[in-house]
Amino acid sequence: MVQMQEDEAICSERRDLQRLQLDQVYATVRPSAVHRPATPRDITSAGEGVASQPTSTQNTTSSSPVSSAGKEDTCQTVKDFFKWLIAQQPAEDRGPYEAAQRVVIEEMWTIKDLKDMAKLKSDLHDLAVNRYKLKDGVVRHFKEELRHFKSVYRTASSLVEIGTNLGTESR
């Protein structure tokens, strides 16, 4: 019983350390692209906005930032995404992103939901923009921003895992 409590305490300590390390990595890793406002080429001749589609041919294993055996997207992943995304914005532009974060967490939307919002004709995009009054430019770029976040998240998670493994080997 005592051993099990000690193991739980070590696991809790390890999770706290991982969260701290992830926070430090998020603060230092910046993608080359940040939020960009809509441009005239994003607007069709009919006047409807069209989210530009990236032309990348990079093959990815999954659309999930944390995909691997036995792992799922969680509310914490969504919170981590917004923490990272808000940190990428200049201080004066953070308001719309913070508003989006509050709504997304309150409504318990998933990573998949955020990606679906990039589709202008989706019900989720309509709900986010019309009912919750989130900025269209913020909502349309979630999918693109998630692509950047995935790389950062996986790198940070790997670094944390390496650090944790090194820490347990030295005991």
Q: Where are the alpha helices (DSSP H) in the chain?
A: 2-28, 75-88, 95-107, 111-116, 123-126, 136-140, 142-169
pTM beyond 0.95: no
Residue 43 backbone phi and psi in degrees, to 5: -105, 130
pLDDT tier, 136 (very low <50, low <70, confident <90, very high otherwise):
very high
pLDDT at residue 39 above 60?
no
pLDDT at residue 53 above 70?
no
pLDDT tier, 158 (very low <50, low <70, confident <90, very high otherwise):
confident
Distance CA 94, CA 86 (A): 6
CA torsion 107-113-118-121 (nearest 10°) is: -80
- pLDDT the model gives residue 120: 92
Count the neighbouring beta carbons within 10 Å of the beta carbon of residue 114: 22
Distance CA 67, CA 18 (A): 18
Least-confidence region, from 13-22, 104-113, 145-154: 13-22
pLDDT at residue 128 above 80?
yes
pLDDT at residue 165 above 80?
yes
Closest C-alpha to 53, from 120, 114, 110: 120
- pLDDT the model gives residue 44: 38
Residue 49 backbone phi and psi in degrees, to 5: -75, 145
Which amino acid makes up residue 76?
Answer: Q
* Residue showing tokens 């992830």: 22
